[in-house]
Each structure stands twice: as C-alpha cells, then as structure tokens.
Amino acid sequence: MGKRAINKINIKNIFTYGILGIWTIINLFPLYWLLTFSLKNNREIFGENVIGLPREWVWSNYTRALTIGSVGRYFFNSMFVTGVTILLTVIFATMATYALTRLVWKGRKAANNIFMLGLTVPIHAAILPIFLVLNKLEWLNSYQALFIPYTGFALTMAILICGGFMASIPRELEEAACIDGCSVYGIFFRIILPLLKPAIATISIFTYLAAWNELMFAVVFIRDKDYRTLTVGIQSLQGTFSTEWGPIGAALVIATIPTLILYIFMSKKIQESLISGAIKG
C-alpha cells in the first residue's frame, strides 16, 4: 500500500472520528446541562451563567428535593410500579406466547388477533373506561391502578417480540423433553424460558421506559401524594407564584440515573437481542 493511500485512510479516519466526536458531544450536552442546572440557584439559572459550571455549587438542592420535595418517596413509588409491571409483563407475555405458538387449542388464532389489536389502540384513548373500572373496583389511588394498565398495554408488544424468538426454537427440544416425561409446565420453565433470555431483556427495557416515563395515567388515577410517581411528583414541585428550579433539576437528575445505569449495563445485551431477533425473523 502506497504512502498516498495510507494518507487517504488516515484523513478518512480523522474525518470519521471527528464527526462521531461532535455527535457524541451534542448527545451528551443535555446531560451536562441538566447536571450543572441541578447545582445552581435561580440567579445563575436565569442570569448570565446559563451554560457554564456553577459559580456556587448548591448541593443542598438534592437534599431539598429528597426531603422537602418528597422525591425519595416518589422514586420508590416509580421503582415499585415499574418493577411490578416488568415482572408481570415478562411472566404473562412468555406464557401467552408459548400458548399461542406451541400449544394447539380451539380459538388460538382468534386470541392472538385480539392481543395484536392492542397495537392499534392508543394508550390514552382508554383513560375513561379504565378510570371507570378502577373506580368501580375502588382501586384508584393505589399501586395497582398503575401497574395493571401498564402491564395490559405492554403485553401486545411483548408477545410480538417473544413470538419472533419462540419461532426460532426447534420443536425437537420439546419433543425430546416430552419423551423423557417432562410435563407442559416443565418444558416451558426448563426448556423454553431459559432460551428466551434475549427476548426477556428486550421486553424488560421497553417496558421499563414506558412505565418509568408515563405521566397521563399517573396524573388521572393517582391523587394521593403517597402513591405519586416521579413524573407527577417532579411536576408538583413547580410553585404557583415562584419556583426554585435547582431542586427540580436535582429531581430530574435522580429520575435519570436509573435509566443511565440500565443503559450502561444492558445496552449491549439489547443490541444483541434485537440483531438476533431480526436475523431469526
């Protein structure tokens, strides 16, 4: 390879890395701005030091958000509701997918079509009927008022994702397990479920994002302060006549941390599962 060709490759690499570096800075800037925003007072936020580092690091914003603003309680509520939603979605989606794709029973296709109809129903179009049902059951202002509707709307996409992975699992594995005397439940828990780990990871991340960031249901179905989630709780920190924006920024940072941690530890797994699902599909 000649010197000219090497120079062209080096210039191409420098250009590529330069573009990627600029793109990285653009994407990381909102996180930097949010972090510095959370450590400023109103004077700096609305003054000349909007983008720069705080001249006075107001760490008390986090203390005020956690204590006076009850962000710690809201954080627990969001974690609990999201965790239960993910658990129920994974359990019901994997079982339903196994029943719809592996077992032979009358009405299987009709049941699958009913599940897939969920893709056509906007989640907020069902607020009124869900509200009436929850009110009749006296479940308003409770955790189940959130994680049950969240699970119901997450099932359709979860079943769709599981279906693609389930189709790639050889039926010979089930036949061999059946010959060895394994029951239907044994086949599901010992054979199928371990092979669905990539699909479960994908379902978990999508369900987490949907439940963690949901606002409309949390506003309509929850009035009691003890059951508010982070999205509603942060919104309530804004005052009627004056607002301390530093504690709000601190609350937003606290709400963002679990998503960042999940991305750091799960991003590679999710990418692998999506690529695997695309290839298998």
Same domain, residue pair 98 and 206: yes
**Residue range 6-37, pLDDT digits in tens:** 555 577 778 888 888 899 889 888 888 889 98
Same domain, residue pair 31 and 79: no
Separation in Å, CA 177 to CA 93, 167, 191: 22, 18, 8
The domain containing residue 30 runs over which residues? 3-37
Residue 58 lies in a domain: no
Task: Say what the pTM is.
Answer: 0.84
Give residue 273's pLDDT: 61
Same domain, residue pair 181 and 263: yes
Residue 46 lies in a domain: no
Same domain, residue pair 152 and 226: yes
Quick one: tokens of 217? 């249901």
Same domain, residue pair 150 and 20: no
Quick one: tokens of 2? 């000649």
Instruction: Give the chain's count of helices (H) and strands (E).
Output: 14, 0
CATH code where residue 108 lies: 1.10.3720.10
Question: Residues 93, 162: contact at Cβ < 8 Å?
Answer: yes
Q: Which residue has better confidence, 251 or 49?
A: 251
CA–CA gap between residue 250 and residue 7 (Å, rounded): 48
Mean pLDDT of the chain: 84
Residue 63 lies in a domain: no
Residue 178 lies in a domain: yes
Same domain, residue pair 20 and 122: no
Q: How many folded domains does the chain comprise?
A: 2
**Residue range 181-219, pLDDT digits in tens:** 888 888 888 888 888 888 888 899 889 989 999 989 999
